[in-house]
Amino acid sequence: MDYEINSEIVPLSFGTQLSKGDIIILWNKQDDQHFQYIVEHTTTRYILAKKMSSKGIPIKVEERKTFKFTPETFQNNKLFLITDKTNDKHLWPTTLPNAILKLKSLYNNQELSLIKLMTWPQFDDQYNQFGGLSMWIRNYFGLYRVILILV
Instruction: Output the tens digit of pLDDT for each of the chain's 151 residues.
Output: 444 556 677 889 898 889 888 888 898 877 778 888 989 999 999 999 999 888 767 788 788 899 999 999 998 899 988 776 666 667 778 888 888 888 887 778 888 888 889 888 888 787 776 557 776 776 677 666 554 444 3
Whole-angstrom Cα distance, residue 138 to residue 5?
A: 11
Q: What is the pLDDT of residue 144?
A: 60
Same domain assignment for residues 114 and 146: yes
Q: What is the pLDDT of residue 139?
A: 67
| Main-chain phi, psi angles of 33, to 5 degrees | -125, 150
Quick one: which of 48, 43, 50 has its CA closest to 15?
Answer: 43
What angle separates helix 133-140 from helix 143-150, to the nearest 10 degrees?
70
Number of domains in the chain: 2
On whether the pTM is more than 0.85, the answer is no
Same domain assignment for residues 80 and 94: no
Name 9's bridge partners. Answer: 82
Same domain assignment for residues 94 and 115: yes
Q: What is the pLDDT of residue 148?
A: 43
Q: What is the pLDDT of residue 19?
A: 87
SS3 state at 103:
helix
SS3 state at 8:
strand
Is 106 domain-assigned?
Answer: yes
Is 1 domain-assigned?
Answer: no
CA 29 to chain centre: 23
Same domain assignment for residues 59 and 119: no
